[in-house]
Structure formats: structure tokens, C-alpha cells
């Protein structure tokens, strides 16, 4: 048997910069109805890394998401969501580093409010600045292989192409582009945004992504904890299928039962 060790079929860990993760699912926290539901989803997902946004303190807020993070024993990845310019995003990243003591940042610089698509010019500008300042930069990017390469060349620790626009749940709209990015990247490719259901996450992994980042698909599902568990399994299944090596697609059928030895009936 090929696998006779203590952990048969164990999947390799995810390495980003200097950190290692057993889970390849990163969970965004936006859209959760409350902190109890969020904690249940985080636990069910098996994630080790969750994203948060940086906003003005709300004097009326009941409890902090930092308590949820501590309770669940996961790490925090601050984002620059809502930023439209490189300057805004860089300032937000610096504030996040001050607030949370981490130099990891999910860099998000969007072009407009309708599509929430990344602004590639501002994104690359911000990435270069933050890398120079010692940040570990994980940029949310469009599914453009050239831009992904430029971000990687700029020193980003991963690239995070979208499957579809944020919150749409449309799944992987351009599997060919995503596969091209995965085939050429020398840093982890994390599919970020647009995942709607478990098969979307599995497909992203089958195309060669190193991890999947999703929020809405879980937080706004009818049963967030159950969907979180489905995503956990889908990411694992997609990763395993990728490593296992799928069969080539064929135009015509190929019998799996031999014709040889057929009875003359």
C-alpha cells in the first residue's frame, strides 16, 4: 500500500510566508447575524485564520469580535475593505498593524461600489508600498494572470484572485484564468470572493488553488454552521482530488468492464 503511515492520505499543510496552516479555508466574518452564530461557523469550518475589518469603535456594540477570535483560538487577518485608493489602503494597513500587532494584511482596493472589483493600478501601488514597509501582503485581485504575476513580483506573500465579484455567490466565472494563475504562481493562490456553495470551493481547489477565502457563502447561508462544515469538506475534497490527479476528459465512452470474456447470449 502506498499509504501505510499513521495518518493515511494526510494532505500537506498550507504555507504562507513564515506560517503554516492545516486548514486551507480562510473565513471572512462579514455578514454574520451575531457573534454566537459566527463562533459556531468558525468552529464548524475548521479554519485557523479569519478576516476582520477596521472601523470606528461603536460605543453601543455588545461584545467585540476580538472575543470571538480568542474564544475560537484562531488567528486574525485584518483587511482594507472599503478603500478606494492606495493611500487609504496603506493607512488602513498601518492602523491595523497598530491595533492588532500583526503585519499581515488582506489588501483590498476596490474600483467602484457596484462591482467591488479591484482597482489594479491602486492595488499594485499599495502592495509595493506595504511590502517595502515590511507587511505580509495578501492582495485581493481580479482573475488576471498578468496582474497576479505583477503582485507576486512586487513581493506579495500570496495572490488572491476572485472567483466572482464579492457577495455574488456566482462561483468560479473564469476557471481558465484561475487555472493559469495557479499554474504560474510561485506563491500560494487563494481564491477569494464569489464562492456560493461547496462545489464552487471544491472546483477552485481542483483548479490548483492553495486555499479558499469566503465569507458570505457561510455567514448568509440559512444554516451558517452547516455550510461552514460543507465548505471545510469541499476544500479538503478539492485539494485531495487535485493531488490525486483527475482522469483526462474523453469525447467517447470507455468501458470500465472488459468486453473480453463476454458470454455469447
- Answer yes or no: 106 catalytic: yes
Distance of alpha carbon 108 from alpha carbon 88, whole angstroms: 10
Within 157-216, which residues bind other proteins (CB under 8 A)? 166-167, 193, 213, 215-216
Query: Is 81 one of the binding residues for other proteins (CB under 8 A)?
Result: yes
Query: Is 114 one of the binding residues for other proteins (CB under 8 A)?
Result: no
User: Cβ contacts of residue 137 below 8 Å, gap of 6+?
Assistant: 105, 107, 127, 130, 131, 154, 155, 156, 157
Distance of alpha carbon 86 from alpha carbon 122, whole angstroms: 5
Q: Which of 2, 5, 7, 58 binds other proteins (CB under 8 A)?
A: 58
Query: Is 96 one of the binding residues for other proteins (CB under 8 A)?
Result: yes
Distance of alpha carbon 43 from alpha carbon 38, whole angstroms: 9
CA distances from 111 to 21, 30, 136, 241 (A): 31, 20, 23, 35
Q: How far is the CB of 61 from other proteins (least distance, A)?
A: 8
Query: Is 156 one of the binding residues for other proteins (CB under 8 A)?
Result: no
Q: How far is the CB of 134 from other proteins (least distance, A)?
A: 14
Per annotation, catalytic residue among 106, 236, 249, 254: 106
State the cell numbers at 188.
500560494
Q: Which of 14, 41, 52, 130 binds other proteins (CB under 8 A)?
A: 52
Q: Which of 76, 130, 191, 235 binds other proteins (CB under 8 A)?
A: 76
Distance of alpha carbon 108 from alpha carbon 24, whole angstroms: 20
Q: Which of the ranges 41-49, 97-105, 174-182, 250-258 carries the binding residues for other proteins, by CB under 8 A?
A: 97-105
Whichever of 29 and 129 has its CB closer to other proteins, that residue is 29
Whichever of 11 and 111 has its CB closer to other proteins, that residue is 111
Query: Is 45 one of the binding residues for other proteins (CB under 8 A)?
Result: no
**Which of 151, 162, 159, 160 lies closest to 122, judged by CA?**
151
Using an 8 Å Cβ cutoff, are 160 and 139 in contact? yes
Query: Is 16 one of the binding residues for other proteins (CB under 8 A)?
Result: no
- For residue 190, what is the enclosing H or E element? strand 190-192
Query: Is 241 one of the binding residues for other proteins (CB under 8 A)?
Result: no
Distance of alpha carbon 59 from alpha carbon 209, whole angstroms: 40
Query: Is 95 one of the binding residues for other proteins (CB under 8 A)?
Result: yes
Query: Is 62 one of the binding residues for other proteins (CB under 8 A)?
Result: no
Using an 8 Å Cβ cutoff, are 227 and 221 in contact? yes
Query: Is 66 one of the binding residues for other proteins (CB under 8 A)?
Result: yes
Using an 8 Å Cβ cutoff, are 249 and 206 in contact? no
State the cell numbers at 62.
455588545
Give catalytic residues, as residue numbers: 106
Which residues in this chain contact other proteins in the complex, by CB under 8 A? 28-32, 38, 51-59, 64-66, 69, 76, 78-79, 81, 91, 94-96, 98-100, 166-167, 193, 213, 215-216
Amino acid at each position: 500500500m502506498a499509504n501505510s503511515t499513521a495518518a493515511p492520505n494526510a494532505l500537506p499543510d498550507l504555507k504562507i510566508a513564515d506560517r503554516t496552516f492545516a486548514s486551507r479555508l480562510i473565513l471572512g466574518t462579514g455578514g454574520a447575524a451575531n457573534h454566537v452564530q459566527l463562533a459556531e461557523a468558525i468552529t464548524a469550518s475548521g479554519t485557523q485564520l479569519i478576516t476582520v475589518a477596521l472601523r470606528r469603535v461603536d460605543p453601543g456594540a455588545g461584545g467585540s469580535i476580538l472575543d470571538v477570535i480568542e474564544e475560537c483560538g484562531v488567528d486574525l487577518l485584518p483587511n482594507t475593505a472599503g478603500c478606494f485608493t492606495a493611500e487609504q489602503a496603506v493607512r488602513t494597513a498601518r492602523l491595523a498593524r497598530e491595533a492588532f500587532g500583526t503585519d499581515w494584511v488582506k489588501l483590498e482596493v476596490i474600483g467602484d461600489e457596484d462591482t467591488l472589483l479591484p482597482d489594479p493600478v491602486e492595488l499594485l501601488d499599495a502592495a509595493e508600498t506595504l511590502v517595502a514597509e515590511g507587511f505580509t501582503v495578501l492582495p485581493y485581485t481580479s482573475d488576471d494572470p498578468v496582474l497576479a504575476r505583477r503582485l507576486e513580483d512586487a513581493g506579495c506573500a500570496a495572490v488572491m484572485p476572485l472567483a466572482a465579484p464579492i457577495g455574488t455567490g456566482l462561483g468560479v466565472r473564469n476557471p481558465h484564468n484561475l487555472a493559469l494563475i495557479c499554474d504560474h504562481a510561485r506563491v500560494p493562490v487563494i481564491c477569494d470572493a464569489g464562492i456560493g456553495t461547496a462545489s464552487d470551493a471544491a472546483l477552485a481547489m481542483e483548479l490548483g488553488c492553495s486555499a479558499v477565502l469566503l465569507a458570505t457563502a457561510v455567514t448568509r447561508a440559512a444554516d451558517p454552521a452547516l455550510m461552514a462544515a460543507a465548505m471545510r469538506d469541499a476544500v479538503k475534497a478539492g485539494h485531495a482530488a487535485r493531488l490525486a490527479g483527475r482522469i483526462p476528459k474523453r469525447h467517447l465512452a470507455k468501458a470500465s468492464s472488459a468486453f473480453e470474456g463476454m458470454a455469447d447470449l
